[in-house]
Every structure is written in C-alpha cells, then in structure tokens.
A and B are shown apart, each in its own frame.
Chain A
Amino acid sequence: MAQRWLYERYKRAMFSVALRTLNDYDHANDALQDAFVEVFRHLDSFRFQSTLGAWIKTIVVRQALRKRQLEWRFETIDEHLHDRPLEVPDFITGAVLDAAIRSLPDGARAVFVLAEVEGYKHHEIAAMLNISEGTSKSQVSYARKLLRKKLSEPPGGPGDYTD
C-alpha cells in the first residue's frame, strides 16, 4: 500500500521534528498522526514546488505548532547569562546536544529547531509562529547562549541538561 510505504519512509524523521519541537512524546505522536492524515487527504494538492519530504515536514511542523498554539512563550532575553568564559568540550554526542536542546524554554527551542536543525528561514518561522522575524532571530541567538551555558556545565551540575 503506497500510503503505508510513504509513512514508513518518513515516520522517523517527521516524528523527530515533532518531538524536538514540542518536547512532549504524546503531543508529538498526536501531531504526527494528524499530519499524516492531512497529508494523505491532500496528497492531490501537492504541486511539486518543493520535495515531497519538505512538504510533509511543513505539515508536521504546523500540526506540532498547533498543539501548543496558545502556549508559546518567548522569554525575555537575559544578556548577562554568564560571568566567565564558557568552555564547551570539543566533542559532544548528538544525544547530549539533543537533551540540551530539549531543555530549552519552549519558544527558544521551537525557533532553534526550526531554524538551525530543520533549515527554515526566519520569515517562514515568523509566519508559522505568528512572531516577527526579529523575534525569530533573537530567539535563535538566545537559544545558542543557553546551549553554550548548558553544554559547558558538567553533567549533574546546576544546569544538568540530561533527563
């Protein structure tokens, strides 16, 4: 069955986007289900303006963002995050970075994932989250500052980023 094949082909990548954006396993599963139902119901409207994967991803991202439509909060940026140079190890694993990303505040995490992991442009993120392009850019910058701080702290320390 073609639909099943398409689902199997994309499920892991799409679920990872949803989970990383929402940091909530149940919401991410709901978003994935809703998104694939929409994909299969509207497959005939796909116009090949992008790759099929990119089209499905946009639908997954939108469904994920809808799960938190009224809950997105963008923290005011603290410009004085650290009082010493931060030493991040030269090598970290993807799992460690993933845990650090998922520990970010909701708004900063969503924008960082969409911009830096998924490659969306700031004007696209601004439209998706109904924020300004400036807010999108500053939240990415804020997320990076927080990540540097989290990754420079030893596991088990005050800012432990592991679950």
Chain B
Amino acid sequence: MDWSRAIQNLPEHEPRPDLWDRIDADLRADAVIDRTLDDLPVFEPQDDAWEQIAGRLEKPVVRPLWPRSFRWIAAAAVVALVAGIWAVWQPVSDEKVTIAYATETVETEWAATPEPLPSSTDQKVETFINEQCAQQIVVCQKPEVKELKQQLRELSNRKMAVEQELLVFGNDPALVQAQIKIENERAEVTKELVRILRI
C-alpha cells in the first residue's frame, strides 16, 4: 500500500457553518476584556489596617532558637541514639558492654539571614564559558549558544529572586521546590553549554 499517496488523498471535511462566527465572537470578547482590564476598580483595606500593622511592628520578633530543619535533625539524632542504646543493650549474651562517648562542639557562625554565595562550581563554569567564548568567538556567535547563555542568565536572575524571597519567607515549601527546579534547569543548560563549547 502506498501510504504517502493515501495520506495525500485523505478527504477534507467542512467545519460547522457557524465556526467562524464563534471564533470572531471570541476574539472580539477577548479584545473587550483586555481593554477593560485597565479600568478595574481599586479597593480600600479596612480602616484600622495600619494600626494593626504598626502594633505588630512594635512587638519584638521571637525567632525559634533552632531552625525547623535543625529541629528535625536533632529529633532524628535522639531517635538514632535511643535505637542504638536499645540495640546494644539487647540481652543476647552475658558479655558486659561498656559504652563510651564523647561530645564534640562544632563552631558555627549563626547569621539571621545567611547571604547565599555563588558556589565555586558556578564561578568555575562561568569562567570556563567566558574563556571559551574569548577563544572561540565563532562558536559563541551560534544561535543555540546565544540562546543557552540567555537562558542561563534568566535562570540565574530567577535563582536570585527566589533566594531573596526565601530571605523573607523562610523555607516556604513552594519556594524551596521552585529553587530546586531552577537549580536543575541551570544544571541542564550549563551541561549543554559546556558540551557545545568543548566540541
């Protein structure tokens, strides 16, 4: 069977007679909506909103001693310790077991709002791309390289924006997910860019 000829000879069908009227009506309706979006009314918040905001600003901010993630780690450590002790003290033999332990204090610098720094890997990649582009000017003029570099810039801007929002909102799950997604996309774009520049 000659598929290409059969496909070329497939019959044509008529759409419903009023389809254009529907399309035209939708387009006109969208134009009316778009035009009117600029005239949407503005609303006033309740009268005492400022007094309530000012009252909250005067109260001192109570921050948890340990961030939530550290609390989970601490809880996990306690569970692990209890499980370990229970496992060691099982009466499986008459041997005497002596448990020795030591505590270690790790000096950490606690900052209220840690400033995210660009990782050394990011810096290395950026340096590599710049060096390659300086040496291989023609390659860097390719549309796909320009496109990838543009994507990388946009993703870096989005990354910074999310990091700034994280400073305000803390570890908001949606923001953390967005941050992970952006990092993954950056990694993909960077990988592709490096691959092209190495050819």
A residues contacting B by CB (< 8 A) are: 3-4, 7-8, 11-13, 15-16, 19-20, 28-29, 32-33, 36-38, 40-42, 45-47, 49-50, 58-59, 62, 66, 84-98, 101, 116-117, 123, 127-130, 144, 147-148, 151-152
CA distance A3 to B174 in the complex (A): 29
Candidates B32, B37, B40, B164; contact of A89 at CB < 8 Å: B32
B167 touches A42 (CB 8 A): yes
20 A-B pairs (CB sep. < 8 Å): A4-B54, A12-B42, A15-B42, A15-B45, A16-B42, A16-B43, A36-B53, A41-B57, A58-B165, A59-B165, A88-B25, A88-B28, A88-B29, A92-B32, A97-B36, A116-B37, A129-B174, A130-B173, A144-B30, A151-B32
Q: In the complex, what residues of B have CB within 8 A of residue A96's CB?
A: 36
SS of A interface (majority): helix
Cβ-neighbour of A94 out of B36, B56, B61, B175 (below 8 A)? B36
Residues on B with C-beta less than 8 A from A101 are 40
A32 x B41 contact (CB < 8 A): no
* Contact mask for chain B residues 174-190; partner A; CB cutoff 8 A; 1 contact, 0 none: 11011001000000000
Q: How many A-B residue pairs have CB under 8 A?
A: 135
B70 part of interface (Cβ distance < 8 Å) = no
Q: How far is the CB of A83 from chain B (nearest CB, A)?
A: 10
- Out of B33, B53, B172, which one reaches A62, CB within 8 Å? B172
Whether B113 sits at the interface, judged by CB under 8 Å, is yes
Question: Taking CB as reference atom, which chain A residue is nearest B20?
Answer: A85
**DSSP class of B's interface residues: helix, strand, loop or mixed?**
helix
**Which B residues are CB-close (under 8 A) to A92?**
32, 36
The answer to whether A59 and B40 touch across the interface, beta carbons within 8 angstroms, is: no
| Interface flag for B161 (CB, 8 Å) | yes
